[in-house]
Structures are given as C-alpha cells and as structure tokens.
Amino acid sequence: MRYKYAIELGGANTNIFLRGQGFVLKEPTLLAVENGMDGYKVKAVGSEAKKLLWKTTDDVEIFNPMANGVIENFEYAQIMLQTFLKKLNYRKGANVVCLIPCGLTKDDQNKYYSLFEKLGFNEVLLIPSVICSLIGQGVNVTSSKANMIVDIGGATTDIAVVNLGSILKGVTLGIGGKAIDIAIANSLALGKDGILIGLPTAEKVKNEIGSLYKNDTLNMEIMGLDIENNVPKSRIVSCKEIEKVIKAHMEEIVRTINVTINSLPPEISTDVVKNGIIFTGGVSKLFGLEEFLKRNLPYNFVISENPENLAIYGAGKLLNDDALLKIIVKN
C-alpha cells in the first residue's frame, strides 16, 4: 500500500512532504483565535498567526494546539491541518505517515489516529520522528548495530537508541527552543536593567546572538518595556547575558545522554560509542554547540547539516521505499 503524505506536527513548525512533489509545506504550528459574541473564531493560522504574536488585543489568543508532542486541543489541531492541506489541494482518501515523538501513551497515539481519520485520510501510520531523522541522515536503521540520535526540537528533546528498525530506548525531555525562549525572556526581565520582551523577540535573541562559545562577543539591540515603570525602551543585549540560560538547558540534555548510555547493555552501548551520536532539530543550529559538546560530552558526535528538516526529509524517503517502510511498521 502506497503512502502519499508525510506530516510532522512539530512543536515549532508543521511540515508536510508529498510523494512525487517533495517538501511542500512548512508553517508555524500556531492559530490565532478571537473570542467574540458568537464564541471563539479562528482568525489566522500558521505564518499569518505568527505575525500577530504580541500584536493583538486581549480578546485574541495565539497558541499551539500541540503540547510536548501531544495533541492538546483536538478541534484547533484539526482546523489548522485542514487549512494547511487546503493549500495543497488535498483530496480525502489518501494514506499518511505521521511523525510522532518518543514515549507517547496509547491514548496520545489514538488522538493522532482520530485526527487524521477526521481529516479524511484512509490508512494512518505513526512513525517515531527520530527514526525518520536517522533515515534522513543516511543511517541504515534496520541494521543490528545501534545508533543514538538527539533531536532538540521546538518543544521537546528526544533522545533515542535505534536498531533493527525500532527504538530500543527513548527519552523525551520538555526542553526545546520554546523553553529556551521563555528562559531568555525571564532572564532579561529579572536581570540588571530589566526589560520585558515578548517571545518573538526572545526567539530572535536566541537565533541571532545565542551562543555557547566561551569568548563570544555578539550583541544586539532590542525593544521592550522597562520592568520598573512599564515604558518602552531599547537596550543592547550581549550573548554573555543569556549564555548561562542556554548552557543550563544544554547541560541537562548532556546529563540525560550520559544516563541513557550508562543504562544500556554493554553490546548496545559499545555500538553507540563506536558509531557516535547524531544531533538534529532546530536548536542544533545554536552557535557554539559543537564546541560545547566537545567540552562536555565524552563521545564522538556529528551535528546534522539540515537539522530543522531532517525528519521530514527522512519521512519522504520512507514514502518512496515500500520495503523499508514494511520493516519499520513490522517492528
């Protein structure tokens, strides 16, 4: 049975790959919902909703229907995906591969099945995104040799050990790009010369000057509200001001990697040490991450060249490889 769509409902973005066409859609996993006289009404979805962040009145709420890889608001997740699929001229009856995080409960998995069935899909396959990322990296996931992957995404970090087409051990941490954005905003608000900023600005700070290099001198000007008198102001933020915040999150990830490897049987941990660890996910693009890992992680590793989109490209390979898909489904 051929599968036409691969869909990843990520913590930051929703990605769609279409067999025969490629990577066709990448949109923020966001909705803007207005509370009016007739109840709640969807005002914007995806990129249009992101444009409204921190720019709306109190009666407009902008939120992500997903929480740590779990469908938190079924109705709005359905509306969001319907909007995205409409852009692709989707017709009901197609088969879909859906990427999911490690460690979902049966109830959480059933929400995914229900969502895609409501959208009119025929056959629905749930495949762990870490397996798709390994495929995207060119790793033979059906080999008896174990491989470890660390996916630092928008909402969560998945740490998994894979062999024979399945996950031997998987851990999900509630650490991702959004958690770092929140921590940066809180740090700047509570620190010296406190300034209150929104999450879009915090995300921009992270992406432009967030760094784990020891002697980095990056800085940028930001606009916000003075924490004491609530009036607009601008100030220069240096990468050193937010280094401690970012470092704390990365240290927790490294700690969990070490605990995971130490809990593996000797033969499996030997494979992991020999093959090295693959880092992927959008936060893997952080300045200085490679140097930080060299200082703090006692294992070989590689950072994916296209970390943000690796999983969806791996899923695209699955759509075109029926034999490999069969092996993964079987396991």
* pTM of the full structure: 0.92
| Amino acid of residue 251 | E
10 Å Cβ neighbour count for 59? 11
Which residues on neighbouring strands pair with residue 8, listed in sequence order?
Answer: 15, 99
Q: What is the DSSP string of 113-150?
A: HHHHHHTT-SSEEEEEHHHHHHHHTT--TTSSS-EEEE
Predicted confidence (pLDDT) per residue in 279-316, tens digit: 999 999 999 999 999 999 999 999 999 999 999 999 99
Strand order from edge to edge, sheet including 195-196? 195-196, 219-226, 232-238
Model confidence pLDDT, tens digit, residues 146-194: 999 999 999 899 999 999 999 999 999 989 999 999 999 999 999 888 9
Q: For the chain, give every residue range classified as CATH 3.30.420.40.
A: 5-133+310-330, 145-174+250-303
Give just the sign of the alpha carbon dihedral 165, 149, 315, 95.
Answer: positive
pLDDT digits (tens, 9 = 90+) for 215-242: 889 999 999 999 988 899 999 999 999 9
Sign, CA dihedral 172-178-181-182, equals negative
What is the signed CA dihedral for 132, 133, 137, 143, rounded to 10 degrees? -60
Given a cut of 90, is residue 60 above it in pLDDT?
A: no
Cα 102–Cα 107–Cα 113 angle in degrees, nearest 5: 85
pLDDT of residue 57: 72
- Please report, rounded to a whole number, the percentage of residues in the chain having pLDDT higher than 90: 82
Structurally, at CATH architecture level, domain 145-174+250-303 sits in 2-Layer Sandwich (3.30)
> What are the tens digits of pLDDT across the range 249-266?
999 999 999 999 999 999
Reduce the DSSP state of residue 48 to 3 states and report it. Answer: helix
Q: What's the rounded Cα separation, in Å, for the pair 125 and 105?
A: 15
Give me the CATH topology for the region 177-245. Answer: Actin; Chain A, domain 4 (3.90.640)
**Residue 63 to residue 29: CA distance in whole angstroms:** 8
Please determine, for residue 118, whether its predicted confidence score (pLDDT) is greater than 90: yes
- CATH 3.90.640.10 boundaries in the chain: 177-245
CATH architecture of 5-133+310-330: 2-Layer Sandwich (3.30)
Better-scored residue on pLDDT, 214 or 86: 86
pLDDT of 37 above 80: no
